[in-house]
Amino acid sequence: MALRSIATEYWLCSIVTICSSRSSPTPEAKRLRTSSGNLLGVVGLRNKLGLFDIGFWLGAPHRGHGYMPEAVRAVLDWAFSTEHADEIGWECVAGNLASAAVARKLGFTFGGVRPSVLPARDGSHPQSWHGLLRASDDRAVKPGWPVPAPGDAAQNEGEATP
């Protein structure tokens, strides 16, 4: 897949280099920046007691260009190809169509609605959508997602997660 921008290419190269050079293969979060240093968003891959999860956020002015699916895909590919993870979880507050669209597009299997694993800023565990991607999964879109189908006018390409 061709990279969409030099800024994305620089960031993707940086995260793979940083990740592969650390004894702990999962940095808390890496920032996606333009070549001029402006913050576009963040992708975080965490390993808590051997359970991996991924989260991401992209600033509103930068959504709709495919940056987040591309960046998240690169992090997932790295985690699976280096055999650091066999599966990676994802969650977002229920109703966050943008985040769900990214996870759906990348081949996560929708796991349903339940309280969040990670606490919200206020310490609560709101109802959240959950997904899982295994290293052995194909990356095709799976059925069962609570997001509009591709081509639906209501679909937001989605590139944010709280």
**Residue with tokens 């059925």, as numbered in its chain:** 143
Domain assignment present for 68? yes
Output 117 or 160, whichever has higher pLDDT: 117
Span 60-93, pLDDT tens digits: 888 888 888 988 998 898 889 887 789 999 999 9
Residue 11, pLDDT above cutoff 80? no
Domain assignment present for 38? yes
Number of domains into which the chain is organized: 1
Residue 156, pLDDT above cutoff 70? no
Q: Whole-prediction pTM value? A: 0.74
Domain assignment present for 153? no
Residue 8 neighbours by CB under 8 Å, 6+ apart:
32, 67, 70, 71
- For residue 42, give the DSSP letter: E
How far, in Å, CA of 9 to CA of 71, rounded? 9
Domain span at residue 30 reads 6-134
CB 105 within 8 A of CB 81: no
Domain assignment present for 157? no
The torsion angles phi and psi of 117, rounded to 5 degrees, stand at: -75, -45
At 127 the pLDDT is 97
The CATH number for 74's domain is 3.40.630.30
Q: How confident is the model at residue 13 (pLDDT cuts 50, 70, 90)?
A: very low
| Per-chain mean pLDDT for the chain | 76
Q: How many CA atoms lie within 13 A of 89 on its CB side?
A: 17
At 19 the pLDDT is 39
Q: How confident is the model at residue 9 (pLDDT cuts 50, 70, 90)?
A: very low
If residue 17 lies in a helix (H) or strand (E), which one and from where to where? Answer: helix 6-21
At 65 the pLDDT is 83
Mode of pairing for the β-strands spanning 127-134 and 87-93 = antiparallel
How far, in Å, CA of 53 to CA of 26, rounded? 10
Centre a 10 Å sphere on the Cβ of residue 133 and count the other Cβ atoms it contains. Answer: 23
Span 102-135, pLDDT tens digits: 999 999 999 999 999 888 889 999 999 999 999 9
Output 76 or 39, whichever has higher pLDDT: 76
Q: Which amino acid is at 36?
A: S
37: its two tokens:
């240093």
Domain assignment present for 104? yes
Domain assignment present for 159? no
Q: How many CA atoms lie within 13 A of 15 on its CB side?
A: 27
- Cα 11 to Cα 23, 64, 149: the distances in Å are 20, 18, 30
